[in-house]
Amino acid sequence: IKNKNLNLNKIKKSIELYNLDNNNSFLKDLSNDLQGYAIQNYPVLKNVINVLNLNKSFFSRMTGSGSACFGFFEDKFINKAIKNITKEYPDWIVKKAMLNDL
C-alpha cells in the first residue's frame, strides 16, 4: 500500500467549502456502514454520539470499526462541550484537535 502525502489544509478548506455551498450536506452524506451493527452490539456507542450531538456537534460518528467516536464542533461551542462532557463522563477520554493538527 502506498502512502500518499495529504495536504490537510487543502482537505480542511474543501470541507469548509462544501459546508458553505451545501449547508453541511457533504457531511450528512458520509456514513459508516459498520456503525449500525456496532451500536446494536455496543449501545454505549449510541450514547456517546448522542452526548456529542447534545453538546452541539454538527457531525458525530464512530470511527472506522468503533475504537472511538468523534464530533465536529464550531469553535464557539467546543470548549463548553469538552467541559460538559468531561464533567458528566469523567471516565471518558476527551481530546480537542483541530483538523489541521492531524
Show the cell assigned to 51.
Answer: 452526548
CA angle 64, 8, 58 (to 5 degrees): 55
- 10 to each of 22, 38, 84, 99, how far by Cα in Å? 18, 32, 31, 11
- Mean local confidence (pLDDT), 4-27: 58
Give 35-63 pLDDT, tens digit per residue: 989 999 999 999 999 999 999 998 889 98
The predicted pLDDT at position 2 comes to 45
Show the cell assigned to 60.
Answer: 458525530
Task: Measure the CA–CA gap between 9 and 18, rounded to whole angstroms.
Answer: 14
Nearest to 48, CA basis, from 102, 100, 88, 98: 88
Which band of pLDDT confidence, cut at 50, 70 and 90, is reported for residue 13? low
